[in-house]
Amino acid sequence: MAVGAASPAVGHAAAGAGGEAAPAEGVPGIGVEAKGKGKAVLVEGGRRQSPSKGMGRRRKRTRKTRRRCMRMRRRGNEDEGEKWLGQYSSTQSILLVGDGNFSFSLALATAFGSGANLVATSLDTYEALRKKYSGADSNIMNLKRLGATVFHGIDVKTMKFHTDLKNRRFDRIVYNFPHAGFKGKEYEAHMINLHKKLVKGYFDNARHLLRPCGEIHVSHKTGGSYDKWDLECIAAKFSLILVEKVGFRKADYPGYDQKRGDGPMCNKSFPLGTCSTFKFKIRDLKKRKGQNWKRTGLVLSLGGSTRPSLNALGAPGGIPPPMGGITSTTLLTPQGHPWYEQRIIAEPLGGTTDYFFSQEYQGSLWREYAMLRQVMPGATSWNYSAFLENRYRESVQKQERLRRLIAYSCQ
């Protein structure tokens, strides 16, 4: 197949008639027609192909190619030793909490061919597990045979202090279907609060055992009263953000048999219904703090930068100077106490206003405001002017209370 490149002056016709060889019979010609400066339109089989259509097709091909590469990479990793089951890989260090009869942990260890990277825990003691679940004993034996670490009596609300866990860090920490016990109906407010308290304890402890780029997983039912647990809101209180929510399918974990875990029917399975795995990561606090700082529109620098001046802002509108309307010092002055009269003369009523807008107090207020924004980002929506206004009001009220107290005590 011959390929001809046409010059801008001659055009497309030169590809078949000019100095270059014409395409062979029955073979479509492929040429490039220059158009404008450096822009070309691909011509295929005598038809022009618009750039927009070409880009759309290219994007689709790119997505398909990317997915194909990911599948091939995963297969290659499996061939090299990495194995996957559901959301989890054999190369990840995984902590499984509240596993009940340990069937989920065994499903992972069996699929990986090894449990060397697994730490499986239960709230119950070993003796209690044997009484509760018919297959727990054999599951534990198989886990240990595959090299997994098994702990009993681990409470998710205090596990960060456990001797065998406090110095370890994990890529994944997994809690499937947390439940605070059967102490009422699932839709009752006190039951929802008990469940939320359990999840709070889990998040608070799990974040201390997580590696910097690790994930905290919670598999949870969705819909109805289960949505009232509000996992995302609870996680946010512990600097955790939701990065992904995927459907949970029991079929992805062969051998997994969920148990009720409490009550006379503890060895019975419960219906999963619609459920998902919520994946959380630790929020980048440094990045978030920087964003909040930029949001305030304030720049705090050590060397000669400009910053809002209290003198420039002046007294906040609508607030009179402290005691400024009092022209006589006898209003609150107890009669017959010269020491108090001398104090009033030494510190006139307008002195508080002058000190408030002095350079010394200016700096202390600015430092207080900057520290407040760093320590409690987002806790207040004040800008600097509103902050000054509030502090001014507090100063007025404090001065008023102090002077009334002195006047009363001297009577």
Instruction: Say how far apart CA 85 and CA 33 lie, in whole Å.
Output: 52
Question: Which stretches of 183-318 are DSSP H helices?
Answer: 189-206, 231-236, 285-295, 310-313
Residues (pLDDT < 70) of the chain are 1-61, 63, 66, 69-70, 72-80, 285-360, 362, 375-382, 409-411
Would you list the DSSP string of 20-44? SPPPPTTS--EEEEE-SSS-EEEEE
b or e along 354-374 (b: 16 or more beta carbons within 10 Å of the residue's beta carbon)?
eebbeeeebeebbeebbeebe
- pLDDT tens digit string along 162-215? 999 999 999 999 999 999 988 899 999 999 999 999 999 999 999 999 999 999
pLDDT at 398: 79
pLDDT at 382: 58
pLDDT at 40: 47
pLDDT at 129: 93
Question: Which stretches of 207-321 are DSSP H helices?
Answer: 231-236, 285-295, 310-313
Instruction: Say how far apart CA 321 and CA 353 lie, in whole Å.
Output: 6
pLDDT at 307: 42
Q: Are 237 and 230 in contact (CB under 8 A)?
A: no
CB atoms within 10 A of CB 311: 10
| Amino acid (1-letter code) at residue 268 | K
The domains located in the chain, with CATH, are 3-49 (no CATH), 84-283 (3.40.50.150), 290-409 (no CATH)
- pLDDT tens digit string along 47-83? 555 555 555 555 555 767 767 766 766 665 555 589 9
Which is nearest to 180 in space by CA: 236, 96, 271, 261?
261
Instruction: Say how far apart CA 391 and CA 215 lie, in whole Å.
Output: 43
Cα torsion angle, 7, 10, 15, 17, sign: negative
Which is nearest to 199 in space by CA: 170, 225, 229?
229
Which is nearest to 384 in space by CA: 315, 322, 310, 318?
310
pLDDT at 204: 96
Which is nearest to 394 in space by CA: 370, 386, 296?
386
Q: Are 89 and 111 in contact (CB under 8 A)?
A: no
